[in-house]
Amino acid sequence: MSSINDPAVLFQGTTLEGPEIDRVTRTLGDLTDVFSDKDALAAMAADQKVYDVACYFPVADGTTAGLFFGITYIYPGKVGTEYFMTRGHFHQLRDRGEFYHCLEGEGMLILMDEDRQTRAEKMYPGSLHYIPGHTAHRTANTGNSMLVFSAFWPSDAGHDYQSISEKGFSGILVEQNGEPVLASK
Ligand SMILES: O=P(O)(O)OC[C@H]1O[C@](O)(CO)[C@@H](O)[C@@H]1O
Ligand SMILES: [Fe+2]
């Protein structure tokens, strides 16, 4: 017996729609350990949205040999001179990689290896980014509009937020003379 079905999810433009889509929003209040300028942060509204994520998890978290897909939407803004950005993480299974594909806006993918060497790649519509294993990753919106990108990663990768929460990245992305600069912390 064979059958023809509709897809479970529609990914059109920058939207991901379907009954199985998980959505989460991160506000400044969720990210107090992430931004460097604590005085600037204290002067801003805790419910200010920093990013939204829409994900399709077709298998359970931790499943070997499955895949996950997500879209991240980072709002434009800064805390002091530091651009709005994601929390950032290593994968719990350190050797797992990931692809990012920029759909809209402009930004920077910040990558840090396990020796805490930090580098960044420019993101703009069409840019494709391979994030190797053993590499922490975070994205920052350096433009005046939303930064939107898709991500594909293995379903057993997991997220290690703890080591970033404790030590941060060795480099932070700040605006200097109107330009994004990767400054050491
Ligand atoms: O998980 P974080 O560090 O908050 O950032 C969100 C990003 O990470 C992912 O959850 C997966 O790596 C992406 O969907 C998204 O780009
Ligand atoms: Fe990841």
Looking at the CA of residue 55, tell me the nearest atom of ligand 1.
14
Centroid of ligand 2 to alpha carbon of 137 (angstroms):
7
- Domain ranges in the chain? 16-184
* pLDDT given for residue 1 in this prediction: 79
> Do 107 and 147 meet the contact criterion of CB atoms below 8 Å apart?
yes
Q: Which residues pair with 39 in a beta bridge?
A: none
> Do 175 and 81 meet the contact criterion of CB atoms below 8 Å apart?
yes
Centroid of ligand 1 to alpha carbon of 135 (angstroms):
13
DSSP line for 80-132: TTEEPB---BB-SSTT--EEEEEEES-EEEEEEETT--EEEEEE-TT-EEEE-
ipTM of the shown complex: 0.94
> Do 143 and 107 meet the contact criterion of CB atoms below 8 Å apart?
yes
- Tell me which H or E stretch contains 65: none
pLDDT by residue for the chain (185 residues), tens only, comes to: 799 999 999 999 999 999 999 999 999 999 999 999 999 999 999 999 999 999 999 999 999 999 999 999 999 999 999 999 999 999 999 999 999 999 999 999 999 999 999 999 999 999 999 999 999 999 999 999 999 999 999 999 999 999 999 999 999 999 999 999 999 98
What is the C-alpha to C-alpha distance for residues 174 and 154, in angstroms, rounded to an integer?
A: 31
Closest C-alpha residue for ligand 1 atom 1: 88
In this structure, the residues whose C-beta lies within 6 A of any atom of ligand 1 are 53, 55, 70, 72, 86-89, 98, 151, 153, 159
User: What Cα–Cα distance (Å) separates residue 178 from each residue in 27, 33, 83, 106, 181?
Assistant: 25, 25, 12, 14, 9
CATH class assigned to 16-184: mainly beta
Q: Which two tokens stand for residue 114?
A: 């396990």
Looking at the CA of residue 149, tell me the nearest atom of ligand 1.
16
The residue whose CB lies within 8 Å of the most ligand 1 atoms, and thus the one to mutate among 34, 84, 89, is 89
